[in-house]
Structure 1
Amino acid sequence: MPEMRFRVRWPDQSESLCYSPSLVIKDFFDAGQSYPLNEFVSRSREALGIASERVRQKYGYTCSSAMSQLADIEAVATRFWDSETPSVTVIEFIE
């Protein structure tokens, strides 16, 4: 299963290198595009859920790394909920 990483920039200009066990993440985001925080979290939740399910279908168990990555994204996002129009930029995909 082709895994990948994707780099994002948060509203405070900090960056995170994120993991996906599947290339499906590219169906939900475009490199260089900014997304409203709530939309970024929602898309991440859906994409990483699909990626984890693909692992389950292939190997018989869900991907704990995908779920851990989602938890990390949600945790960082909580720092910015009160910001005015926070957005997250997907900087690049690394395959």
Structure 2
Amino acid sequence: MPEMRFVITWPDGQEESCYSPSLIIREFFTEGESYSVADFVDRSRRALTIASDRVEAKFGFACSSANDQLARIESAAVAFLHDADARVHCKTFIL
């Protein structure tokens, strides 16, 4: 499976390189676009779940790295969910 990274910038300016075991991320995010934190978490959850499911279909087990990445995103997002104007910027994809 082709894996990829997607680089994001949190509302506080922290940049993070995120992992996906599948290119599905490109169907949920666009380079250069910003998303509300809640929308970003929702899109991440859907994309990384699909990615993990694809790994499971191919190899017989879920992708723990995709699940770990989703947990990290959900955890980091908590600090910003109270601010309706907070945005997560999808900076770039790394294939």
TM-score by length of 1: 0.98
Q: Residues of 2 paired with 1:82 and 1:47: CA distance?
A: 23
Deviation at 1:84, TM superposition (A): 4.1
Count of equivalent residues? 95
Residues 1-95 of structure 1 aligned to structure 2 (within 5 Å): 1-95=1-95
- Note the residue ranges of structure 2 that are not aligned, 5 or more in a row: none
Contact 2:36–2:84 at 8 Å: present in 1 too? no
Q: In angstroms, what is the RMSD of aligned CA positions?
A: 0.6
CA distance in 1, matches of 2:39, 2:81: 12
Paired AA for residue 22 in structure 2: S
| Identical amino acids, percent of aligned pairs | 53
User: Which segments of 5 or more consecutive residues in structure 1 lack a partner in the other structure?
Assistant: none
CA distance in 1, matches of 2:47, 2:19: 11
Amino acid of the residue matched to residue 3 of structure 1? E
Report how far residue 5 of structure 1 moved: 0.3
Please identify runs of 4+ aligned residues in structure 1 that moved more than 6 A: none
- Does the 8 Å contact 2:9/2:91 carry over to 1? yes
